Structure 1
Amino acid sequence: MTDTVVVIYSGGMDSYTLLHQARTDGYAVHALSFNYGQRHVRELDCARAVCERLGIPHKVIDIRAMAEVMAGSSLTSDLAVPEGHYQEDSMKSTVVPNRNMILLSLATGYAVTVGAQAVWYGAHGGDHAIYPDCRPEFVEKMDAVCRVANYEPVGVAAPFMAMDKGEILARGLAMGLDYRQTWTCYNGREQACGRCGACVERLEAFAANGVTDPLMYEASA
């Protein structure tokens, strides 16, 4: 029997790579995306298109009703998206309160429903400084509790935890992945802004690999 995993798939480049990594590793994959009121909701369009092309079962769960308990972030509230590098204190405004615990809990329920053995998500080493719910100790504790939360144990894993974004991109490029099929920018405009933390980190990853990002960026970037 082929092992099954649920991949939390945002439509961004990290989860896009993770989705393909799971398939390359021989897992049957169920992709799960969430609309939590993020201003860059167009990433979900990318997720839908990729899963349809690959024939991967894909659910998009609308949890915008939870906005009142996930407020205060520049990704979900009427606050300016900060520009610059992720290491700057201003990037803390992009933290969505308790987001990954909420998403992982819902994904664990879905894993039980579809008979999956684990939930994978795309936390990586570059996230540690800003996002508490992308750190190794968080993943370890979520894994422990999700294994005992139901009759069926479900593991929680972040396979890219020891990698930075450049290394994740290198993995995807080695698999021949097309990153035009992803969306990273925190501003959900027609083209990526090139200035928000997500864009800066993405562009740095492509530069580190000596390749050009195939996405279109605004002229002022």
Structure 2
Amino acid sequence: MNEKVVVIYSGGMDSFTVLNRALKDGKQVYALSFDYGQRHVKELACAAKVCEELNVPHKVVDISAINQLLAGSSLTDDIEIPEGHYEEESMKSTVVPNRNMILLSLAVGYAVSVEASQVYYGAHSGDHAIYPDCRPEFVLKMNDVCKIANYDAVEIFSPYLEVSKTAILTDGLAMGLDYSNTWTCYNGREHACGKCGACVERLEAFRDNNTTDPLTYE
């Protein structure tokens, strides 16, 4: 029997690559997505479609009720989504307070329940500037806690923690992945905006890999 792992799967290009990396590594994957009231809920539809095609067990958990506690993010509140690169100060408005600690805790609980040894998590170096809960020190400390929080140790595994989105895409393209099955834009409209931090970094990654993003942009 292959080793069981839980993959936190948003439906974006990073977690899509992580999901497929886990499958490529021979893991028995349980995909877990969260509806936390994000504007770009469209990503969850992408996640569901991919998991159905790959025959991967997939749970979508509605945790949107917690937003009454987590105010102040442009991803969940009526605040305009900033435009520009992730390294710009304005992008701090996209931080959802304590999001990844919450999501990882829930994923670890799920991992224990299905007897999975790892939780795959798609943090990468491009997120480090703006998101404290994507930085190596956070991931390492969460990993330490999750190894002792239950009778069965669960490892937080971030295969792309120290590399860029460009390198993630490079690995995905080498696996032959179709990125039309992903959604990245923070605005959940019909087409990607091309201007928010998520879009800017995604387009950079495709340009750096000398290929064209299959998504359509406004």
- TM-score of the aligned structures, taking structure 2 as reference length: 0.99
| 1:215 partner letter | L
Does residue 177 of the first structure (1) align with residue 177 of the second (2)?
yes
Q: Secondary structure at the match of 2:212?
A: coil
For residue 84 of structure 1, report the CA deviation from its aligned partner. 0.7
Q: Secondary structure at the match of 1:144?
A: helix
Task: Give the Cα separation in 1 of the matches to 2:24 and 2:52.
Answer: 18
> Match for residue 21 of structure 1?
21
**How many residues are matched?**
218
Q: Secondary structure at the match of 1:151?
A: coil
For residue 162 of structure 1, report the CA deviation from its aligned partner. 1.2
Q: Secondary structure at the match of 2:191?
A: coil
| 1:179 partner letter | Y
> Match for residue 100 of structure 2?
100
| 1:172 partner letter | G
**Residues 136-188 of structure 1 deviation map (CA, whole Å, 9 limit, x = unaligned):** 11011101101111111111111101110000000000000000000000000
For residue 49 of structure 1, report the CA deviation from its aligned partner. 0.2
**Residues 19-51 of structure 1 deviation map (CA, whole Å, 9 limit, x = unaligned):** 000000010000000000000000000000000
Task: Give the Cα separation in 2 of the matches to 1:140 and 1:69.
Answer: 26
Task: Give the Cα separation in 2 of the matches to 1:38 and 1:16.
Answer: 18
Q: Secondary structure at the match of 1:32?
A: strand
Q: Secondary structure at the match of 1:156?
A: strand
Q: Secondary structure at the match of 2:6?
A: strand
Task: Give the Cα separation in 2 of the matches to 1:159 and 1:143.
Answer: 13
Does residue 192 of the first structure (1) align with residue 186 of the second (2)?
no
> Match for residue 163 of structure 2?
163
Q: Secondary structure at the match of 2:156?
A: strand
Choose 16-25 or 151-160, whichever is displaced more.
Answer: 151-160
| 2:120 partner letter | W
**Residues 121-142 of structure 1 deviation map (CA, whole Å, 9 limit, x = unaligned):** 1000111110000011101110
Task: Give the Cα separation in 1 of the matches to 2:125 and 2:150.
Answer: 29
> Match for residue 73 of structure 1?
73
| 2:80 partner letter | A
Give % identity. 68
Does residue 11 of the first structure (1) align with residue 11 of the second (2)?
yes
For residue 71 of structure 1, report the CA deviation from its aligned partner. 1.7
> Match for residue 118 of structure 1?
118
| 1:37 partner letter | G
| 2:173 partner letter | L
**Residues 39-74 of structure 1 deviation map (CA, whole Å, 9 limit, x = unaligned):** 000000000000000000000000011011222100
> Match for residue 137 of structure 1?
137
| 2:81 partner letter | V
Q: Which runs of 5+ in 1 are unaligned?
A: none
Task: Give the Cα separation in 1 of the matches to 2:71 and 2:19.
Answer: 28
Q: Secondary structure at the match of 1:133?
A: helix
